[in-house]
Amino acid sequence: MGWEEIKAEVLSRIRARDWAPGATIPGEEALAQEFGVSRATVNRALTELARAGVLERKRKAGTRVAALPVRRATFEIPVIRAEVQGRGQVYAVRLLREEISRPPLAVAAVLGWPILGGEALGAMLYLETLHLADGAPFAHEARWLNPGLLPDPRPDFATVSANEWLVAHVPFSTGDIAFSAEALAPETARAMGLAPGTPVFVTERCTWGEAAPVTWVRLTHGPGYRLKTVI
């Protein structure tokens, strides 16, 4: 019995309602004896199931089957170029705008950028980019970037997208991400060559490096875009 078999067996018992939602299952020691493996192996299996939201574990209280199984799913956040090329399409970027200015208050606030008297205290780099797949607009990107992270002179974002420059040079930052459906704003509509008001899938991401804010980015995906994953 490997840990994956044990995981499968535990899942099977839950599905068979041998162990009902909310019920406490036997301790690691007991299961190790029953399955004839070491406690570490049982622990590996149960830890995995707890991470998936199937079990809830607490010291001393034991392990119980989650009563309201809030399922967790994982999705990937690809670099846009890789996403387009993964569909077998030709990728291109077009830089629409690049300027240094003060970020809107909303952006400064979520990034933790200094604010004084209702206004952002310093300037950031604003980039507006259109990502193309086979020449057609694939996504529109509006980005505020901490200029302190950039080398001098700064990279040529007309040839390397900020997206890609960042993952290569400010890797593995933390952050949060939100998805929503919105009506396409007139300006973005013009840039994408679509009708204003078209329903679009929007991704907003906010990232921080080890100490400083890195970037705020808003991606507007073309119509028909679907974010898929496996549960």
Partner DNA sequence: TAGTGGTCTAGACCACCTC
Partner DNA sequence: AGGTGGTCTAGACCACTAT
Site residues for a copy of itself per CB under 8 A: 11-12, 14-15, 21, 53-54, 68-79, 82, 167-168, 170-172, 174-183, 197, 199-202, 205, 207, 209-210, 221, 223-231
188 and 220 in contact (C-beta within 8 Å)? yes
List CB contacts of 226: < 8 A, sequence separation 6 or more: 201
11, 50, 52, 167: residue in contact with DNA (rule CB under 7 A) = 50
- The option from a copy of itself, DNA, none interacting with 187 (CB < 5 to 8 A, set by class) reads none
By CB under 7 A, is residue 57 in contact with DNA? yes
Residue 100 β-bridge partners: 125
Q: Does residue number 22 form part of the binding site for DNA (CB under 7 A)?
A: no
Q: What is the Cα Rg of the chain in Å? A: 24
Q: Cα–Cα distance between 174 and 208 in angstroms, integer?
A: 5
Residue 38 contact, options a copy of itself, DNA, none, Cβ 5-8 Å cut-off depending on partner type: DNA
Count of all residues that appear for the chain in the document: 231
Q: In this complex, which beta carbon is closest to DNA, that of residue 36 or of residue 117?
A: 36
Burial of 131 (0-12, 13-18, 19+ CB in 10 A): buried
For DNA, which residue of 10, 14, 37, 219 counts as binding (CB under 7 A)? 37
If one asks whether residue 34 binds DNA (CB under 7 A), the answer comes out as: no
- Binding site partner of 37, from a copy of itself, DNA, none, Cβ cut-off 5-8 A by kind: DNA
The answer to whether residue 38 forms part of the interface with DNA (CB under 7 A) is yes
Residues between 58 and 77 that touch DNA (CB under 7 A): 58-63
Q: Residue 116: in which H helix or E strand, if any?
A: strand 115-116
Nearest residue to 162 via CA among 142, 178, 176, 139: 142
Binding site for DNA (CB under 7 A): 1-4, 27-29, 36-41, 43-44, 46-47, 50, 57-63
